[in-house]
Amino acid sequence: MINRLIAQVLPYMPEKLIWQFSKRYIAGETIDSGIEVSRKLNDDGIDVTIDLLGEFITNLEQAEAYKNSYLEIIERFTSEKIRGNFSLKPSMFGLLIDTEVCYMHIRQIVQKAQECNSFVRIDMEDSQCVDEEIKLFKRLKKEFSGHIGLVVQAYLRRTMNDLTHLNHEMSNGHPLNFRLCKGIYVEPKEIAYKEYQSVRDHYLEDLDYMFRHKIAVGIATHDKYLVDKAIELINKYQVPKEMYEFQMLHGVTPELRQSIVDQGHRMRVYVPFGKEWFGYSTRRLKENPKIASHIINALFCKG
């Protein structure tokens, strides 16, 4: 209860105060800071996926600016030989304003990634975006095949139907490549599973389907139960290492992350950076109020 109260109050506190919590999870505001964090992870044997913070823009001038930023990011990170790829949210390119403009911006970004022999993953956002983001993925997949992927959310009741539909329609040529996460947006029970174990069960059901149908998957979770069950499925189906990887957020459960790496599994860390870090950080806090205790330690306890 105290953690929830702190989580509600902290977004109204000065940014310098919030940064004491955020710097563990955000690479910084600039491309240089993102490269620095990514290189350290690479040196530890961990791949990265780069995310420029920002979403749900209000005008198309912002979309143009974000597109240009991503083109620069891809150029810089690939020229610096960072071992990683890129994630983006369609709402920051105008998905809810003009879907065709959004498509053209993201197409240019994926084309740049293809030219640099890299890869772009479309993040899945809340339920108002899901249909359009799947359409966007399907259009780009036809043109850029092995350079584009999608996120799916286990807590959505529709996800298994989406998986089977996409597998039947799009699996020719390069295999599909999905990131599987639990899902973070607040949705009504008619749309999303609400019970904690139910979400876990459907996560494993989706993962089992992807392994059986040879769909490449990023197993995105900090839940040790799901990690252990995922490894059981990997062993059961003898999944080749190039067909899966574990994925985690920068700064979250580093001990569990290291244990997965020590077992010989590939790991990719989601590295967010950019000037819009404040909104990202306060959302993470609301999603997981337990983080509040770490903030208090960071503010008042040395080390």
Predicted confidence (pLDDT) at residue 2 exceeds the cutoff of 80: no
Q: State residue 188's pLDDT score.
A: 96
Which residue reads 């337990």 in tokens?
A: 290
Average pLDDT over residues 44-48: 97
CB 134 within 8 A of CB 162: yes
Nearest-10 Cα torsion for 240, 159, 188, 225: -20
Number of domains in the chain: 1
CB 37 within 8 A of CB 27: yes
165 vs 55, more confident: 165
10 within domain boundaries: no
Q: For residue 265, give the 3-state DSSP assignment.
A: coil
Q: State residue 302's pLDDT score.
A: 44
Q: What count of residues does the chain have?
A: 303
Instruction: Compute the distance between CA of residue 38 and CA of residue 268 in angstroms, rounded to an integer.
Output: 10
Predicted confidence (pLDDT) at residue 38 exceeds the cutoff of 50: yes
Instruction: Compute the distance between CA of residue 232 and CA of residue 78 in angstroms, rounded to an integer.
Output: 35
Average pLDDT over residues 6-34: 78
Q: How confident is the model at residue 263 (pLDDT cuts 50, 70, 90)?
A: very high
CB 94 within 8 A of CB 63: yes
Mean pLDDT of the chain: 91
pTM (2 decimals)? 0.90
7 within domain boundaries: no
299 within domain boundaries: no
293 within domain boundaries: no
CATH number of the domain bearing residue 46: 3.20.20.220
Predicted confidence (pLDDT) at residue 32 exceeds the cutoff of 80: yes
Determine the angle formed by the axes of helices 196-212 and 224-237, rounding to 10 degrees.
20
Predicted confidence (pLDDT) at residue 90 exceeds the cutoff of 60: yes
107 within domain boundaries: yes
What does the pLDDT look like over 274-297, one tens digit per residue?
988 877 776 666 655 555 555 555
21 within domain boundaries: no
What does the pLDDT look like over 178-237, one tens digit per residue?
999 999 888 999 999 999 999 999 999 999 999 999 999 999 999 999 999 999 999 999
Q: State residue 174's pLDDT score.
A: 77
Q: State residue 303's pLDDT score.
A: 40
155 within domain boundaries: yes
Predicted confidence (pLDDT) at residue 116 exceeds the cutoff of 80: yes
Residue 168, domain extent: 27-273
Determine the angle formed by the axes of helices 277-287 and 2-9, rounding to 10 degrees.
160
Dump the DSSP string for 35-102.
HHHHHHHHHTT-EEEEEE---S-SSHHHHHHHHHHHHHHHHHHHHTT-SEEEEE-GGGGTTTT-HHHH
Predicted confidence (pLDDT) at residue 173 exceeds the cutoff of 80: no
44 within domain boundaries: yes
Q: State residue 84's pLDDT score.
A: 98
Q: State residue 257's pLDDT score.
A: 97
Predicted confidence (pLDDT) at residue 43 exceeds the cutoff of 70: yes
Instruction: Compute the distance between CA of residue 250 and CA of residue 269 in angstroms, rounded to an integer.
Output: 6
CB 31 within 8 A of CB 74: no
